[in-house]
Structure 1
Amino acid sequence: MSLPAEFHEIAERVNNWGRWGADDETGTLNLITDAVVREAAATVRSGLRVPLALPLGPDGVQSGLVPGRINPVHTMVQINQELFGPGTVATSDDMAVLSLQTATHWDALSHVSHSGRLYNGRPADTITPHEGARFGGIDKVAHVVSRGVLLDVARAHNTDRLPGGHAVTPEDLEAAEELAGVRVRAGDIVLVRTGQMRVLLAGDRNAYAHPSPGLSVRTPEWFRARDVAAVANDTLTFEIFPPEIDDLWLGVHALDLVEMGMLQGQNWNLEELSTVCAQERRYAFLLSATPEPFTGATGAPVAPVAVL
C-alpha cells in the first residue's frame, strides 16, 4: 500500500534534504546557532527549574501497544560490597533493561523511514541488526539547548485536556502562541501541550495511549515555515491516533523526521510547566534537553529541564 498523494505533496513542500549539505545527520538542529543559545540564556530571570521527564520505572507508559517496547526493569548487581576487603569503602551498583523510547525521549532521525529512505535521502538499510543506525543515530545529537516555547493548546481551548480525536492544527498552534504572547522563531524548541499526560498521571496508561490527541499532518508545514529546531509533546504517539487520514499511519513522524530532519519527542510531562508558565505569564525559557548518546540508537531517553 503506497502513501497517499497528499502526503507526498506535503513532503515536497517541507523537504530539507541537502539544506545543510549531503553528509548532514542532524537536520534542523543546525538552526540552533551560538546566537540562538545566547538569546535563549537571556530568557532566564528567576532561575526556577521545571523538570519535564517521567520516572523510569516498571509502572511506565508502555502498555504493549508498540511491539517490543517494555517499561524499565531495574536490577541491583552490588549491594554494599566491600571490594577491597572488610572494613573498606562499600559500593552499590545497579543495571537496567529498557526500550530507549520507553518514556520521555527524543526520536532520532533514523527512527522512521519511508519509501526506503531516511533523512537526507540515505538508504533505510543503513540500519543494521548489529550496528543499529549507521546514519542519523541519536549519538549524532551532541547537544540540545535552546529557547523552549510552550504552546499550551489545551489551555488555549480553555480545557485541561483535548479530546482523544483532536488533531492539533496550525490554527491551534497560533491560538496557543497568542495566549503565550510570544512568536515562535528559528532555532526554537516547541513543546505542545494537549493535556493527555493527565490521563497517564491518573493511572490509566491504556487510555493514555489510545485514542490520543496529537499533531495533525498539517503541522509540519507550520514548523518548517518557522524553522523550528525540534518539537516535543505530552502524548505517546506524538501525532493524533488513530490518524486523521485513512491508511496514513505515522505520517507526521515521516514528515518531521525523514523529510525535514526535525527531532521530535514524546511522553514529556508538561503539566507543571503549564501551571508555572500561566502563573508567571511567560511561555519562553531556556531548555536543556540533550539525549543520552547511545551509539547507533534510533532514540534515547532524555531528562529535560526548563529554566525560567
Structure 2
Amino acid sequence: MTDDGPTPYPTPHPTASPFMTEAAFRSLHAELLRRAPTGAEHRHGALAHLTPERVVAAAAEVRLGRTVSLAAPIETQPGPDDPQPAVYRLTAPTGPESGTPGVHFALDRFAMNVHGDAHSHLDALCHVVFDGELHGGVPESRLAAGGARRITLDLVRDGIVGPGVLLDVPRLRAVSWLEPGDFVTVEELAAAEEAQGVRIGPGDLLLVRVGHRRRRRETGAWDAAHARAGLHPACMRLLAERQVALLGSDGNNDTAPSPVAGVPFPVHVLALHALGMHLLDYLDLDELAHACAELGRWRFLCTVAPLRLPGATGSPVNPIAVL
C-alpha cells in the first residue's frame, strides 16, 4: 500500500462488468433465500453459523490481550455525509452550581439517528424491506405493529462475539483506498485471502476494508450516499457458501451508485433480507489493518455490543477486536 496519497486505479476489473440486471439480481436473491438457515435455526439468521464451539475457538485467537476499537468517533457537526449529526450537550452542573461547596454531578444528553453515512452502526434484520416483506417473509406492516420483534435488535441483545477476519482490499491493490463508485469482486476476496494467508469460514465475522475512512480523513467528507466503494452483490454468494455469520465494512458495504438497475442497496437486500446476515456499516478499520499487518495475522476475537433498544432496526455500536 502506498502512504503518499491515492494511487490511480482507473480500470480495476477489465473483464468484469459492474452492472447486474434486476432479473439476475432477483435470481441471486432467490438462490440465497434457499441457502439461508431454516427450521429452528431460522430465527437466528446467519448467526446460526456462530455456534458456542466457534466462539470458544475464537477466544483462543487472543495472544496479546490488545484491544482495538473498530468504531469511528461520533460527530456532532453537520457535513456532506452527515446532514443530521448527533446532538450532544452538557446538562449539568448548571451555572448556579459551579464553584459551590458540596457534591454535584456532571451530566449530559445525547441523541442521534441510528442509520446514516457517517457513524458506525449495526443493522438489525428488520432494517430492509424488499417487495413489502422483511427477512423471513414477515409482512412490513408487522414492524410498526410490534409483530416483528424476533428480527429486531432484540435478536442480538446479548451481543455478538466470535471469530473476526479482516480482508484488506486496498492493501491487496497496493492503493490507499478504493475510489467512490468502485467495487470489490469475488475474485478479490479470494485473492485477499491468499495474500493474507487466511480463509473465511463458518461462523466468521467478516470485515472488508475499502479505505473509506482513510479517504475521508485525508480528502474530507463527501456525499457518500451517492458515491462510495463497497462490495459487488455477487460477493454474497461466496459469503453464503462459506456460512459467514456477519459482514462489516468501513463503508456502507454497498457500492453507490448501485450496480443493479432498479435496486438500490443490493448487498443490504441480499445480506439482511435473504440471508438474515447482520451488517456493520461505516466502521473504522485502519488501526486494525495496521495492527494485523504488523502482527502478520488477520484473525482475532471480535465483540459487538449493541444498545438494548427493544424493537429497534439497528444501534450505534463500538465493536472491539481483541488480538
Contact 1:108–1:263, Cα closer than 8 Å, also in 2: yes
| Pair 1:62–1:48, CA change in 2 (3 A) | farther
For the residue of structure 2 that corresponds to 1:109, the secondary structure is coil
User: By how many angstroms is 1:180 displaced?
Assistant: 1.6
Task: Give 1:1-308 correspondences, 5 Å limit.
Answer: 4-15=22-33, 19-21=37-39, 24-59=42-77, 63=81, 70-79=84-93, 87-102=101-116, 103-128=119-144, 131=146, 134-141=149-156, 142-202=158-218, 204-206=220-222, 208-235=224-251, 237-308=252-323
CA distance in 1, matches of 2:292, 2:129: 36
RMSD: 2.4
Amino acid in the other structure paired with 2:284: N
CA distance in 1, matches of 2:289, 2:47: 25
User: By how many angstroms is 1:189 displaced?
Assistant: 0.3
User: By how many angstroms is 1:134 displaced?
Assistant: 3.4
Contact 1:82–1:89, Cα closer than 8 Å, also in 2: no
| Pair 1:226–1:82, CA change in 2 (3 A) | farther
Amino acid in the other structure paired with 2:272: L
| Pair 1:132–1:87, CA change in 2 (3 A) | farther
Amino acid in the other structure paired with 1:91: F
Q: TM-score, normalised by structure 2?
A: 0.85
Contact 1:132–1:296, Cα closer than 8 Å, also in 2: no
User: By how many angstroms is 1:121 displaced?
Assistant: 1.1
For the residue of structure 2 that corresponds to 1:146, the secondary structure is strand
CA distance in 2, matches of 1:109, 1:300: 12
Contact 2:36–2:274, Cα closer than 8 Å, also in 1: no
Identity %: 33
Contact 1:73–1:98, Cα closer than 8 Å, also in 2: yes
Contact 1:166–1:240, Cα closer than 8 Å, also in 2: yes
Contact 1:216–1:252, Cα closer than 8 Å, also in 2: yes
For the residue of structure 2 that corresponds to 1:192, the secondary structure is strand
Deviations 1:162-208 (A, max 9, x none): 12232211111111111220111100000000112112223622155
Amino acid in the other structure paired with 1:299: G
For the residue of structure 1 that corresponds to 2:263, the secondary structure is coil
CA distance in 2, matches of 1:202, 1:182: 29
- Unaligned stretches of 5+ residues in structure 2: 1-20
CA distance in 2, matches of 1:81, 1:91: 12
Amino acid in the other structure paired with 1:13: E
For the residue of structure 2 that corresponds to 1:287, the secondary structure is strand
Q: TM-score, normalised by structure 1?
A: 0.89
For the residue of structure 1 that corresponds to 2:126, the secondary structure is helix
Contact 1:145–1:289, Cα closer than 8 Å, also in 2: yes
User: By how many angstroms is 1:59 displaced?
Assistant: 3.6
Contact 1:61–1:200, Cα closer than 8 Å, also in 2: no
| Pair 1:18–1:52, CA change in 2 (3 A) | closer
Contact 2:80–2:223, Cα closer than 8 Å, also in 1: no
For the residue of structure 2 that corresponds to 1:288, the secondary structure is strand
